[in-house]
Structure 1
Amino acid sequence: MTDKKIDEKDLKEKKSWKNNLLSSSVPMEFEVSKILVKHGFSTSADYSYTRHGAQGRDDFSVDLHASTYLPYRRPNEITTEFHLLIECKHRHRNNKWLFFPDPNLGEFSSFTLGHTLRVVDDFAPVMLEDQPSTSFDSKANFCLKGVEIDLNNGTVHDAEIRRGLAQLQYALPRLLTEAIEWNLGMFQEECYPFLFCPILLTTSEILVAKADTTIASVESADALADLATPAPWVVVHCEQTQDFQRHRQIACDALSGLVESGATDWVDAVRKEAGVHEYGLPSAACEELTDGYSRGRLGKYFGQFIVCSLPHFESLLSKLKAVAGKTDKSRKLLWANPPAEAAE
């Protein structure tokens, strides 16, 4: 074998293992974890959950779970929890993710302002303003659907995007249930509201189709740039399918025990005294989460997801932290002092 052939073989083998390692998304997860830690988050890999379906149950995981507390870097003054679930998708350099904007107007849209960074104060003796989260969403690119375009071979599909979003959505009931259980199991004065946001992160460039895109404009386009403009991130909506509703009902089942045991009684009383309607009380929320098919306010928990391009992740993270910080500062305690039994 000539030296030239040996060099070509070595180059091919080197390229192969590098490509396979990158495709595993593990280097990407490590890079993202370091960014999160830099911004004060604690991270863990492979956030597992059991997916309950009509055909049985299977174990899955989301790549990263990150959490921190507010106020930032003041561990002795915790007032709010902040969680992120992140699924990483490493794609090759010539892959583009193209999303199509929501054409619906106002109330006809599936999107709700303030439902991307979820503000959950329903299970605590505290009220938070959702205006900062609403303001964040008012500047968002809301998109109905996305596809992956491989500029090398011309293939177009949506499998990786749909799979990533599904992994995030099906992991949310565990995150929500554990956050509620944890808080209602604490001393009453240590029962905190929490924020959470699911993010699908990709190495691909994200583009948003122009509002005037038509079949004819696609046929006449010479390049993708003729149809779309780059975006750092977009917000997409995922329908709560019957399969997901079944999964959510089972995954949240532990919450029914909280209501039956009376664990929600005290915070029900505090929030009712503050003027919260019966359907907005913690016990009612737990019952809805463990009920059968229900859309209602559950879209607040399970409907909207951020899809972000990796080069813009740190910028997105800074914005989310700022929104969370403003939200925490809006807190209004619903009691002057904890009830007497909490102090005993």
Structure 2
Amino acid sequence: MASEFDLIARHFTPAAPASDAGVALGVGDDCALLSPRAGQRLAVSVDTSVADVHFPAEAPAEAIGHRALAVSLSDLAAMGAEARWCLMALAMNEPDEAWIADYARGFHRLCATTGTALVGGDVTCGTLSIGVTVMGEVPPELALTRSGASVGELIAVTGSLGGGAGGLALWQRGERDLAHPLLTRYLRPQPRLAAGQALRGLATAAIDISDGLLADLEHVLEASGVGARLDPSALPLAEGLVMALGDDAARRAALAGGDDYELLVTLPAAQLATARQRLADIGLALSVVGEVSETPGIAGVEASDVRGWQHFAPPFVGGAPGPGRRP
């Protein structure tokens, strides 16, 4: 049986990084030695993905590898940061070489497409779970945070919403056509790194939509000391969502289903045209869904809708379930 060191050597030791990757010492030692660029601030985030909580254990291993990295990179996107490096810790019950090879392929492929160097981590025995720490760089004066929203600014979202929750609902019904757009959104989310960088200097606050639009908007409102008025009719729904869930459940999925990994931003109305053009240049839409207000809370939606993914709360009842939660 292969040891964890064999597995790391075979599957998680990338080829020597490019000379401009900022990696002085990578996988294989007690620590990685990294060289951030001059004048940049380091952005760091960590996420843990647990089987049958954040992803189905029986999902394709390649998709699990992609997804584990994508959800962490989404946090860098929300800060307007450029991805540079990551660490990955994998726990699994037994060393299934074929599964690990597929998992590693999905992980490494997203590393390559996002310019992220895997520089270390761990492989150990335990319940299937993955911890990914990502590190990126952002100019200090351009970092996007949750605390900059002001009264009168617009609230906007990138891309479309509800696809993650819709894909989970289909998976739970037994749908296994991985080409279905909703399953693609759920199993292989795309971190909006280019969008976060494009919105530097335009957006005043930002967050990635992981726990649901309403729950994540509440984080921005609390950090900024403001409220919001939403227009649910303006929500950009994911392709196939209404057909899969019906009108009401589709709206709930977009509001509170989570797992979309789009960006929610606030910005002055005067910056909207420029922001839309920058995102159009990378093939992404920006939809206005509300306005920042002075009154605390979120107006325009029912109180029962203001609920996103919470690990230690009861399951969602009705509409779309929370991310990864098995009803």
User: Which range, TM-score by smaller chain?
Assistant: under 0.3
Q: Larger % of helix: which?
A: 1
Q: Which has the larger radius of gyration?
A: 1
**TM-score, structure 1 length as denominator?**
0.25
